[in-house]
Amino acid sequence: MSEAQLAELMDRHEIHQVLLRYARGLDRLDNELVRSCYWDDAIEDHGHFVGTPDDFISWADGTTLMFEATQHAILNHVCELQDQDAYCETYYHFSGTTVEGPHFMSTGRYVDHFQKRDGEWRIANRVTLVEGTYDVPRAGLAPSPSTAYTPDAPCQAARDRTDVSYHRPPRPRSPNQD
Protein backbone atom coordinates (compact mmCIF):
# COMPACT_ATOMS: atom_id res chain seq x y z
CA MET A 1 0.00 0.00 0.00
CA SER A 2 1.34 3.40 -0.93
CA GLU A 3 1.70 6.30 1.48
CA ALA A 4 -1.06 8.17 -0.39
CA GLN A 5 -3.45 5.23 -0.08
CA LEU A 6 -2.71 4.92 3.63
CA ALA A 7 -3.29 8.66 4.13
CA GLU A 8 -6.63 8.40 2.29
CA LEU A 9 -7.73 5.49 4.49
CA MET A 10 -6.78 7.43 7.60
CA ASP A 11 -8.72 10.49 6.42
CA ARG A 12 -11.82 8.39 5.70
CA HIS A 13 -11.55 6.68 9.09
CA GLU A 14 -11.16 9.98 10.95
CA ILE A 15 -14.20 11.47 9.18
CA HIS A 16 -16.29 8.41 10.04
CA GLN A 17 -15.17 8.70 13.68
CA VAL A 18 -16.48 12.29 13.76
CA LEU A 19 -19.90 11.01 12.63
CA LEU A 20 -19.90 8.32 15.32
CA ARG A 21 -18.85 10.81 18.03
CA TYR A 22 -21.67 13.10 16.94
CA ALA A 23 -24.27 10.31 17.30
CA ARG A 24 -22.90 9.17 20.64
CA GLY A 25 -22.74 12.71 21.97
CA LEU A 26 -26.38 13.41 21.09
CA ASP A 27 -27.58 10.16 22.66
CA ARG A 28 -25.56 10.59 25.86
CA LEU A 29 -26.39 14.33 26.08
CA ASP A 30 -22.63 14.92 25.97
CA ASN A 31 -22.57 18.42 24.51
CA GLU A 32 -18.78 18.65 24.67
CA LEU A 33 -18.49 15.55 22.50
CA VAL A 34 -21.02 16.89 19.96
CA ARG A 35 -19.26 20.26 19.90
CA SER A 36 -15.93 18.57 19.12
CA CYS A 37 -17.39 17.52 15.75
CA TYR A 38 -17.79 21.07 14.39
CA TRP A 39 -15.52 23.92 13.42
CA ASP A 40 -16.45 27.19 15.16
CA ASP A 41 -17.59 28.81 11.90
CA ALA A 42 -19.78 25.86 10.81
CA ILE A 43 -23.44 26.21 9.90
CA GLU A 44 -25.90 23.43 10.83
CA ASP A 45 -29.03 23.33 8.66
CA HIS A 46 -31.14 20.74 10.46
CA GLY A 47 -34.81 20.72 9.46
CA HIS A 48 -36.49 23.30 11.70
CA PHE A 49 -33.13 24.71 12.81
CA VAL A 50 -30.42 26.69 10.99
CA GLY A 51 -27.53 28.18 12.95
CA THR A 52 -24.19 27.81 14.68
CA PRO A 53 -22.95 24.61 16.34
CA ASP A 54 -23.47 26.06 19.83
CA ASP A 55 -27.02 27.14 19.05
CA PHE A 56 -27.71 23.75 17.43
CA ILE A 57 -26.52 21.91 20.54
CA SER A 58 -28.85 23.98 22.73
CA TRP A 59 -31.72 23.33 20.33
CA ALA A 60 -30.96 19.59 20.14
CA ASP A 61 -30.80 19.37 23.95
CA GLY A 62 -34.33 20.71 24.22
CA THR A 63 -35.54 18.39 21.48
CA THR A 64 -33.96 15.17 22.78
CA LEU A 65 -34.83 15.79 26.44
CA MET A 66 -38.48 15.06 25.64
CA PHE A 67 -37.44 11.42 25.16
CA GLU A 68 -36.47 8.87 27.82
CA ALA A 69 -33.83 7.52 25.46
CA THR A 70 -32.59 8.19 21.93
CA GLN A 71 -30.50 6.34 19.40
CA HIS A 72 -28.82 7.86 16.37
CA ALA A 73 -27.62 5.16 13.99
CA ILE A 74 -25.06 6.03 11.32
CA LEU A 75 -25.72 3.98 8.19
CA ASN A 76 -24.58 4.18 4.54
CA HIS A 77 -21.70 6.59 4.14
CA VAL A 78 -19.95 7.89 1.05
CA CYS A 79 -17.10 10.35 1.11
CA GLU A 80 -15.41 12.28 -1.68
CA LEU A 81 -12.00 13.58 -0.63
CA GLN A 82 -10.55 16.69 -2.27
CA ASP A 83 -7.31 17.63 -0.53
CA GLN A 84 -8.31 19.28 2.78
CA ASP A 85 -12.04 19.11 2.00
CA ALA A 86 -14.41 16.17 2.05
CA TYR A 87 -17.97 15.96 0.77
CA CYS A 88 -20.01 13.25 2.47
CA GLU A 89 -23.48 11.81 2.42
CA THR A 90 -24.41 9.69 5.43
CA TYR A 91 -27.76 8.03 6.04
CA TYR A 92 -29.09 8.12 9.60
CA HIS A 93 -31.86 6.50 11.60
CA PHE A 94 -33.08 8.22 14.77
CA SER A 95 -35.41 6.77 17.36
CA GLY A 96 -36.70 8.31 20.55
CA THR A 97 -38.72 6.53 23.22
CA THR A 98 -41.25 8.24 25.46
CA VAL A 99 -42.78 7.16 28.75
CA GLU A 100 -46.20 6.31 27.33
CA GLY A 101 -45.70 6.32 23.57
CA PRO A 102 -46.09 6.70 20.80
CA HIS A 103 -42.38 6.65 20.17
CA PHE A 104 -40.74 8.62 17.39
CA MET A 105 -38.53 7.60 14.48
CA SER A 106 -36.85 9.69 11.81
CA THR A 107 -34.81 8.72 8.78
CA GLY A 108 -32.73 10.86 6.49
CA ARG A 109 -29.28 11.93 5.41
CA TYR A 110 -26.50 14.19 6.60
CA VAL A 111 -24.93 16.01 3.64
CA ASP A 112 -21.67 17.33 5.02
CA HIS A 113 -18.73 19.45 4.03
CA PHE A 114 -15.81 18.42 6.24
CA GLN A 115 -12.54 20.33 6.41
CA LYS A 116 -9.18 19.23 7.69
CA ARG A 117 -7.51 22.04 9.63
CA ASP A 118 -4.26 21.61 11.52
CA GLY A 119 -4.47 17.86 10.87
CA GLU A 120 -8.01 17.43 12.25
CA TRP A 121 -11.27 16.71 10.40
CA ARG A 122 -14.48 18.40 11.55
CA ILE A 123 -17.81 19.43 10.06
CA ALA A 124 -17.52 22.78 8.25
CA ASN A 125 -21.18 22.82 7.12
CA ARG A 126 -24.06 20.36 7.31
CA VAL A 127 -27.46 20.05 5.68
CA THR A 128 -29.66 17.44 7.37
CA LEU A 129 -32.30 16.06 5.04
CA VAL A 130 -35.16 14.58 7.07
CA GLU A 131 -36.81 12.18 4.65
CA GLY A 132 -39.27 10.44 6.92
CA THR A 133 -40.83 10.87 10.36
CA TYR A 134 -42.96 8.22 12.03
CA ASP A 135 -44.89 7.67 15.24
CA VAL A 136 -44.22 4.16 16.50
CA PRO A 137 -46.72 2.46 18.83
CA ARG A 138 -45.57 1.06 22.16
CA ALA A 139 -45.13 -2.67 21.60
CA GLY A 140 -42.48 -5.33 21.98
CA LEU A 141 -40.05 -3.18 23.92
CA ALA A 142 -37.43 -4.54 26.25
CA PRO A 143 -38.35 -4.64 29.94
CA SER A 144 -38.13 -1.32 31.69
CA PRO A 145 -35.04 -0.71 33.81
CA SER A 146 -37.13 -1.16 36.96
CA THR A 147 -37.97 -4.77 36.04
CA ALA A 148 -34.73 -5.73 34.29
CA TYR A 149 -32.48 -4.72 37.17
CA THR A 150 -32.61 -4.86 40.95
CA PRO A 151 -31.75 -2.01 43.34
CA ASP A 152 -28.41 -3.78 43.92
CA ALA A 153 -27.66 -3.82 40.19
CA PRO A 154 -29.22 -0.69 38.67
CA CYS A 155 -29.52 -0.17 34.95
CA GLN A 156 -26.21 1.01 33.57
CA ALA A 157 -27.77 2.89 30.68
CA ALA A 158 -27.74 6.63 31.27
CA ARG A 159 -27.95 9.76 29.16
CA ASP A 160 -24.78 11.27 30.58
CA ARG A 161 -21.20 10.32 31.45
CA THR A 162 -22.39 7.80 34.07
CA ASP A 163 -23.43 5.52 31.18
CA VAL A 164 -21.52 2.23 31.10
CA SER A 165 -19.98 3.21 27.73
CA TYR A 166 -17.84 5.79 29.58
CA HIS A 167 -16.55 3.29 32.17
CA ARG A 168 -12.91 2.26 31.67
CA PRO A 169 -13.02 -0.71 31.80
CA PRO A 170 -16.76 -1.42 31.44
CA ARG A 171 -18.19 -2.78 34.69
CA PRO A 172 -20.68 -5.59 34.06
CA ARG A 173 -23.22 -6.57 36.68
CA SER A 174 -22.46 -9.64 38.78
CA PRO A 175 -24.01 -12.86 37.45
CA ASN A 176 -27.18 -13.94 39.24
CA GLN A 177 -26.49 -16.53 41.90
CA ASP A 178 -29.40 -19.02 41.99
Q: Where are the domains of the chain?
A: 3-140, 142-178
Mean pLDDT confidence for 128-147: 74
pLDDT at 177: 44
Q: What DSSP designation does 174 have?
A: P
- The dotted CATH code for 3-140 is 3.10.450.50
Q: Interior CA angle at 118 toward 115 and 119, to 5°?
A: 75
Report percent pLDDT > 70 for the chain: 88
Pairing of strands 69-82, 49-51: unpaired
**pLDDT tens readout for residues 95-111:** 999 988 899 999 999 99
Cα 120 → chain centroid: 19
Mention every residue, 6+ apart, whose C-beta is less than 8 A from residue 118.
none
Count of alpha carbons within 13 angstroms of residue 166, beta-carbon side = 16
| Rounded Cα–Cα distance for residues 60 and 44 (Å) | 11
| Rounded Cα–Cα distance for residues 167 and 164 (Å) | 5
Nearest to 72 by CA among 126, 110, 35, 118: 110
What band does 146 get if pLDDT is binned at 50, 70 and 90? very low
Mean pLDDT confidence for 76-89: 98
